[in-house]
Amino acid sequence: MRRTLGLLTLAALPLAVLAVFFVVPVGAMVARGFVVDGTFDPGAVVEVLGRDRTGRVLWFTLVSAGSGTALSVLLGLPAAYVLHRLDLPGVRIARGLLLVPFVLPTVVVGVAFRALLGDGGLLGSLGLDGSATAIVAALVFFNVAVVVRVVGGAWASLDPRAGEAAAALGASPATVLRTVTLPALRPAIASAASVVFLFCSTAFGLVLTLGGLRYATVETEIYLLTRAFDLPAAAGLSVVQIVGVVLLLVVVGRLRRSDDAAAGRAPTTPRRMQGYDVPAVAATVAVLAATALPIVGLVVAAFRVDGAWSTANFRALTGTGDDTALLVPVTEALRNSLQIAVDATWMALLLGLLVALVVTRRARTRTERTVRGVLDGVFMLPLGVSAVTLGFGLLITVARPPLALRDDPLLVPLAQALVALPLVVRTLVPVLAGIDDRQRQAAASLGASPARTLLVVDLPVAWRPVLAATGFAFAASLGEFGATAFLAQPDRPTLPVVIARLIGTPGGTNYGMATAAAVVLAATTTVVMLLVERLRVPSVGAF
Using CB under 8 A as the binding rule, the residues of this chain from 249 to 278 that contact another protein are: 260-261, 263-267
Name the segment binding another protein (CB under 8 A); options: 82-90, 194-202, 221-229, 241-249: 221-229
Which lies closer to another protein via its Cβ, residue 44 or residue 396?
396
**Contacts (CB under 8 A) with another protein, residues 385-414:** 391-392, 395-396, 399-400, 406-410, 412-413
Question: What's the closest the beta carbon of residue 285 comes to another protein, in angstroms?
Answer: 26
> Which one of the spans 2-10, 272-280, 284-292, 316-324 is the region binding another protein (CB under 8 A)?
316-324
Q: Among 15, 48, 180, 325, which residue sits at the site for another protein (rule: CB under 8 A)?
A: 325
Could you tell me how many residues of this chain bind another protein (CB under 8 A)?
A: 95
Of 327, 403, 405, 448, the residue at the interface with another protein (CB under 8 A) is: 327
Q: Which of 27, 42, 66, 118 binds another protein (CB under 8 A)?
A: 118
Rounded distance between C-alpha atoms, residue 417 and residue 351, angstroms: 9
- Binders of another protein among 191-220, rule CB under 8 A? 208-214
In terms of CB distance, is 41 or 230 closer to another protein? Answer: 230
Least Cβ distance, residue 1 to another protein (angstroms): 26
Q: Which residues lie below 8 Å from residue 463, measured CB to CB, with a gap of 6+?
A: none
Name the 3-class secondary structure at 484. helix
**Which CB, 184 or 280, lies closer to another protein?**
184
On whether the CB atoms of residues 432 and 362 are closer than 8 A, the answer is no
Residue 459: CB atoms within 10 A of its CB come to: 11
Shortest distance in whole angstroms from residue 41 CB to another protein: 18
What dihedral do alpha carbons 416, 420, 421, 424 form, nearest 10°?
Answer: -150
Q: Which is nearer to another protein, 227 or 257 (CB)?
A: 227
Length of the chain counted residue by residue: 543
Which parts of 473-532 interact with another protein (CB under 8 A)?
485-486, 489-492, 501, 503-508, 511, 527-528, 531-532
136-165 residues in contact with another protein (CB under 8 A) are 157
Question: What residues contact 378, with CB distance under 8 A and at least 6 apart?
Answer: 15, 18
Residues 33-72 that bind another protein (CB under 8 A): none
Name which of 127 and 278 has its Cβ closer to another protein. Answer: 127
Residue 343 interacts with another protein (CB under 8 A)? yes
Q: At what angle do helices 510-535 and 459-479 cross, to 10 degrees?
A: 170
CA–CA dist 394, 81 (Å, integer): 41
535 interacts with another protein by CB under 8 A = yes
Interface positions, 222-251, toward another protein (CB under 8 A): 224, 226-230
Min CB(334)–another protein separation in Å: 9
Tell me which amino acid residue 255 is. L
Q: Which of residues 421-460 bind another protein (CB under 8 A)?
A: 431, 433-436
Min separation Cβ 500 and another protein, Å: 8
**φ/ψ of residue 389, rounded to 5:** -60, -45
CA distances from residue 109 to 126, 205, 359, 423 in whole angstroms, order as listed: 19, 10, 36, 22
User: Which lies closer to another protein via its Cβ, residue 293 or residue 396?
Assistant: 396
Task: Between 92 and 171, name the residue whose CB sits nearer to another protein.
Answer: 92
3-state secondary structure 276-323: HHHHHHHHHHHHHHHHHHHHHHHHHHHCEECCEECCHHHHHHHCCCCC
Best CA proximity match to 69, nearest among 229, 259, 201: 201
For position 115 contacting another protein by CB under 8 A, the verdict is yes
- Nearer to another protein by C-beta: 14 or 391? 391
- The verdict on 326 binding another protein (CB under 8 A) reads yes
Establish how many alpha carbons lie within 13 A of residue 517's alpha carbon, considering only the half-sphere containing its beta carbon: 36
Kindly report the backbone phi and psi dihedral angles of residue 271, in degrees, each rounded to the nearest multiple of 5, phi listed first: -115, 170
Distance between CA 47 and CA 230 in Å, rounded? 12
Contact 235, 33 (CB under 8 A): yes
